[in-house]
Amino acid sequence: YDFIEGSSVTMDEFEAGRLAALYFDRFGHKSAAVYFREGDRVAKARIEGFKSVMPSCIDILDSENVGDKLKSALQSGVTAVFCFSDYYAKKLIDAAKEFRIPDDFSLISVDDTMIAEIYGLTSIVHPKGLIGEAAAKALLGGVKINKKFIPEIKERKSVKKI
């Protein structure tokens, strides 16, 4: 992260968002929304990556009426939603029980936690193990390191071709 001095071992957050947008594009989605928490630096980088591919996407900020915001976005022609984390994907799913994924909209999240597995979400894999291993080696070796791991996508069943 740019705001951390010293060593840094992270996932390329910008690339995570960009990868999600490219995936949606490959499946024919041209109108998307992004759901995130405002003021979060990690979310900001992921959303910037997404918008580098799909600049006209609609922002859905975390709030009490997220279900209404999603409904409005879908009525405006949105066919896909990028959630900045699996946790936020679950929040969106819970707030929008009337909609079916991927029939009503496609969804990609980030982190590939148990939430993504349970809900069958296509998710950007956070390379936690690789990050931990590289950080431990740097720490034990007393070496300053700045490394960003390029994420990969785990395909499940939350994106449909249109």
pLDDT digits (tens, 9 = 90+) for 111-159: 999 999 999 999 999 877 776 787 787 777 777 777 888 999 999 999 9
Mean pLDDT of the chain: 90
DSSP letters along 68-122, please? HHHHHHHHTT--EEEESSHHHHHHHHHHTTTS-TTTT-EEEEEE--HHHHHHT-E
pLDDT digits (tens, 9 = 90+) for 27-57: 999 999 999 988 888 899 999 999 999 999 9
Round to whole Å and give the CA distance between 92 and 78.
15
Task: Identify the DSSP state of 10.
Answer: E
- First CA to last CA distance, the chain: 36
More confident residue, 63 or 150: 150
Round to whole Å and give the CA distance between 30 and 15.
19
pLDDT higher than threshold 70 for residue 110: yes
